[in-house]
Chains A and B, each alone.
Chain A
Amino acid sequence: MPQNQRDIKRRIQSTKNTAQITKAMEMVAAAKLRRVQEAVQQSKPYLAKMQSMLAGISKSARWVKHPLLAERPIRRTGYLVITGDRGLAGPYNSQIIRTALQEFRRRDKDTYVIYAIGRRGRDFFRKHGYPVGGEVVGVPDVPTYDSVRDLATQVVQAYADEQFDELYFIYNEFINPVTQRPVVKKVLPLSDVGEAPASSAQYLFEPDAETVFASLLPRYAETLVYQAVLDAKASFHGAQMTAMGNATDAAKEMIESLTLQLNRARQAAITTQIVEIVGGAEALK
């Protein structure tokens, strides 16, 4: 235990520096979380509107068949896995990857395909030889529709082309800033379309029902992708905030115990000195 005082002082200083950084990261994550939550709020009307429009139209155009609605025998499954681009967010990324692996374990490599959003997930799946069909990295902290649009279009198109027969999202659902829950959610074929509000009248169509319906459905699916990305981003900032908060607390605790050690060491040094002086004085008598 009698450690060099200078060593302890140095450790305290370095721990303090770390705490400063983690504290700053916590606050940055908190600010970003707030902005993403705002974006989630802002994006709600679009989705709600689209749902009610789909419901209304599917009532008027019940005869229209569309590949996004059709249940097909499952030969291949698509997974859209959303992770973060960076670490330092506690178990955020590993949780997702673990959930995904559990899902994949039951399957042969040629019966599924992965679409990866986020650098962490992409790197992992690539490195370990999982089939990655498409990817996006570098989604902004507050995701824009444009940033995920290409992939969303690609995924929806691949489904329509029957490259796979069902699509799942795997991402961290945002419960509240300190809780995220990894979920595996079935998205395609679309199933929740068609509960028409009672008031909706028969629609006219321009140019015709098939065209409207057929262009609305893929856009709806793409919107679901965007929503999931927003949700996952909110979770990411929440997870990072929590992780950095914990790190700051841990650092503070460490500083406390180190300070105690330092004081003890100093006390011990003083005691030794006094004993030496007293001993020396005794010897002179």
Chain B
Amino acid sequence: MSSVLLEVVTPERLVVSEQVNFITVLTGGGELGILPHHAPLAATVKPCIVKVRTDAGEDYINVNGGFLEIQPDKVTILADAAELASMIDVARAQAAKERAERRLAQREGVDVLRAELALQRALRRLEVVELSGKAGNVLGSGNQK
């Protein structure tokens, strides 16, 4: 099966660099599925869960918004922050979720937008862990911290 190199880069590190067969990502213009040999494209990326399919199976990456560039031989996601399931601290995400929910329930004297974003981030993290766990944590096995 033909494949394309996917790189997910954050300001702090290179998170993923892997040959993949298929990617879905939420761009500023809507959900986008990318197969190898896609035409060159540049897009903004909204906070979302990026789904990738490799020869070994599926995996999921939590991406906190950023940019996407497609070149003939390479797909690059420049993310503000990105993490694989293995980098997510489930207990912390759970705590963040509860905290954000409390804030939102309170409604007064809270930065609602910020709490909302925090809640979504926490939910995405938990979802990535769950999905990725089911699929068997295909990406980055071994070489991550």
Chain B residue nearest to A223 in the complex (CB): B11
* Interface membership of B1, Cβ < 8 A: no
The B interface, classified by DSSP as helix, strand, loop or mixed, is strand
Distance between Cα atoms of A202 and B72 in the complex (Å): 12
**Among residues 83 to 140 in chain B, which have CB atoms less than 8 Å away from a CB atom of chain A?**
none
> Is the CB–CB distance between B28 and A42 below 8 Å?
no
Residues of A within 8 A of B33 (CB): none
Instruction: Return the contact of B42 from the options A47, A204, A219, A226 (Cβ within 8 A).
Output: A204
Chain A residue nearest to B41 in the complex (CB): A204
Q: How many A-B residue pairs have CB under 8 A?
A: 89
Residues of B within 8 A of A108 (CB): none
Count chain A CB atoms within 10 A of each CB in B12, B13, B39, B72 and give the residue with the most: B12
Instruction: Return the contact of A212 from the options B30, B40, B43 (Cβ within 8 A).
Output: B43
> Is the CB–CB distance between A57 and B11 below 8 Å?
no
CB distance from B13 to the nearest CB of A (A): 4
Residues of B within 8 A of A203 (CB): 40-42
* Interface membership of A206, Cβ < 8 A: yes
> Is the CB–CB distance between B42 and A46 below 8 Å?
no
Instruction: Return the contact of A215 from the options B7, B10, B44, B72 (Cβ within 8 A).
Output: B44
* Interface membership of B62, Cβ < 8 A: no
* Interface membership of A56, Cβ < 8 A: yes
> Is the CB–CB distance between B40 and A202 below 8 Å?
yes
Interface membership of chain A positions 98-111, coded 1 if the CB is closer than 8 angstroms to chain B and 0 otherwise: 00000000000000
CB distance from B15 to the nearest CB of A (A): 10
The A interface, classified by DSSP as helix, strand, loop or mixed, is helix
Report the count of interface residues on A (CB-CB < 8 A).
30
Report the count of interface residues on B (CB-CB < 8 A).
28
> Is the CB–CB distance between B11 and A205 below 8 Å?
no
Distance between Cα atoms of A88 and B69 in the complex (Å): 45
Distance between Cα atoms of A99 and B13 in the complex (Å): 32
Which B residues are within 8 Å of any A CB, using their own CB?
7, 9-14, 27-30, 32, 39-44, 66-69, 71-72, 76, 78, 80-81
Q: List 28 A-B contacts (CB under 8 A).
A: A43-B12, A45-B9, A45-B14, A46-B12, A46-B78, A49-B9, A49-B78, A50-B67, A53-B67, A56-B69, A144-B12, A145-B80, A201-B40, A201-B72, A203-B40, A203-B42, A204-B39, A204-B41, A206-B30, A207-B27, A211-B28, A212-B43, A212-B44, A212-B67, A215-B28, A215-B67, A219-B67, A223-B11
